Amino acid sequence: MSRVKRSKIAMKHRRNVLKMAKGFRFGRSTKEVEAKVALRHAGAYAFAHRRDKKTDARRLFTVRLNAALRPLGITYSVFINKATKKNIGLDRKVLSQMAMENPESFARIVEQVKA
């Protein structure tokens, strides 16, 4: 059986791994094995944090809504409960944007929910 020399492919793979690890600290940017491990961890963190980003955004919507609702005499939990019972189909993201950008119409929605 003929011999297969893999230096071209191996070097290409090595170059690609080290290119992706550029900017990492210590040996993680220069040593192939350490770079592979660092990239594997980076990928896992990126995957998990893409999910966490959605949670953080929802928390921010809740905080903004609560801050906008308090001066109108209602708390966040009471507002969401009443809005759900009255089948108001606006989600937290839209409500928080409305509270920031268009307080008059937001106040009208709150009055509808209160009534």
pLDDT in tens, 23-49: 999 999 999 999 999 999 999 999 999
2 assigned to some structural domain: no
CA 28 – CA 17 distance, rounded (Å): 10
pLDDT of residue 13: 96
- Tokens 């170059």 belong to 15
43 assigned to some structural domain: yes
Q: What does the pLDDT look like over 50-73, one tens digit per residue? A: 999 999 999 999 999 999 999 999
The domain of 109 spans 7-114
CATH of the domain at 48: 1.10.1900.20
Provide the terminal-to-terminal Cα distance of the chain, rounded to the nearest Å: 85
DSSP H or E stretch at residue 94: helix 92-101
